[in-house]
Amino acid sequence: MSKGTHRRVFMLAGEPSGDALAARLMNGLKEQAPDLEFFGVGGPLMAAEGLESLFPMEELSVMGLFEVLPRLPKLLKRIDQTAAEVKRVAPDIFITVDAPDFSFRVTRKLAGTSFPKVHYVAPSVWAWRPGRAKKVAALYDHILTLLPFEPPYFEAVGLPASFVGHSVIETGADKGDGPAFRVRHGIAPEERLLMMLPGSRRGEVSRHLPIFKDTVAQLLAEIGYFRLVVPVIGRAGEIIRAETADWDADVLIVEGEAEKFDAMVASDLALAASGTVALELALARLPTVIAYRMNVITNMIARRVVKLDHVNLVNILLKREAVPEYILENCTADNLARGLAELFRSDEKRAQQIVSYKEAMLQLGEGGAAPGARAAEIILKLIARKK
Concatenate the DSSP letters of all residues of 196-265 into one string. EE--SSHHHHHHHHHHHHHHHHHHHHHH---EEEEEE-TTHHHHHHHHHTT-SSEEEEEESHHHHHHHHH
Tell whether 305 is covered by a domain: yes
- pLDDT-based confidence at 233, cuts 50/70/90? confident
What average pLDDT does this structure show over 369-383?
96
Residue range(s) defining the domain that contains residue 23: 7-165+367-386
- Tell me how far apart the 2 most distant CA atoms of the chain are, in Å: 71
- pLDDT-based confidence at 199, cuts 50/70/90? confident
81 with 109, same domain?
Answer: yes
Residue 192 predicted with pLDDT over 60: yes
| pLDDT tens, position by position, 288-301 | 999 998 755 555 55
215 with 139, same domain?
Answer: no
Residues 86 and 10 sit within 8 Å (Cβ to Cβ): yes
Alpha-carbon gap, residue 130 to 120, rounded angstroms: 18
Residue 69 predicted with pLDDT over 70: no
Tell whether 191 is covered by a domain: yes
Closest CA to 312 of 272, 267, 265, 342: 272
Query: Is the dihedral angle over the CA atoms 154, 159, 161, 167 positive or is it negative?
Result: negative
- pLDDT-based confidence at 237, cuts 50/70/90? confident
138 with 194, same domain?
Answer: no
| pLDDT tens, position by position, 273-289 | 988 899 999 999 999 99
155 with 191, same domain?
Answer: no
Tell whether 291 is covered by a domain: yes
Residue 4 predicted with pLDDT over 80: no
185 with 334, same domain?
Answer: yes
Q: Which residues contact 54 (CB under 8 A, 6 or more apart)?
A: 39, 40, 41, 81, 82, 85
| pLDDT at residue 352 in the model | 98
153 with 49, same domain?
Answer: yes
337 with 380, same domain?
Answer: no
Residue 156 predicted with pLDDT over 50: yes
Alpha-carbon gap, residue 156 to 126, rounded angstroms: 13
Residue 308 predicted with pLDDT over 80: no
155 with 219, same domain?
Answer: no
Bridge partners of 143?
A: 119, 161
| Order of all β-strands in the sheet with 93-97 | 36-41, 7-13, 93-97, 117-120, 142-145, 161-163
Residues 241 and 228 sit within 8 Å (Cβ to Cβ): no
Q: Which residues contact 365 (CB under 8 A, 6 or more apart)?
A: 164, 165, 166, 169, 371, 374
Residue 37 predicted with pLDDT over 50: yes
33 with 153, same domain?
Answer: yes
Tell whether 79 is covered by a domain: yes
Average confidence score pLDDT of the chain: 91
Residue 166 predicted with pLDDT over 90: yes
Structurally, the chain folds into a number of domains equal to 2
Percentages helix, strand, coil for the chain, rounded to the nearest 5? 50, 15, 35
Tell whether 171 is covered by a domain: no
13 with 86, same domain?
Answer: yes
What average pLDDT does this structure show over 67-95?
88
Please report, for the domain that includes residue 30, its CATH number: 3.40.50.2000
53 with 131, same domain?
Answer: yes
Tell whether 170 is covered by a domain: no
Alpha-carbon gap, residue 233 to 69, rounded angstroms: 26
Tell whether 172 is covered by a domain: no
247 with 353, same domain?
Answer: yes
Q: pTM, whole model, 2 decimals?
A: 0.85
Tell whether 99 is covered by a domain: yes
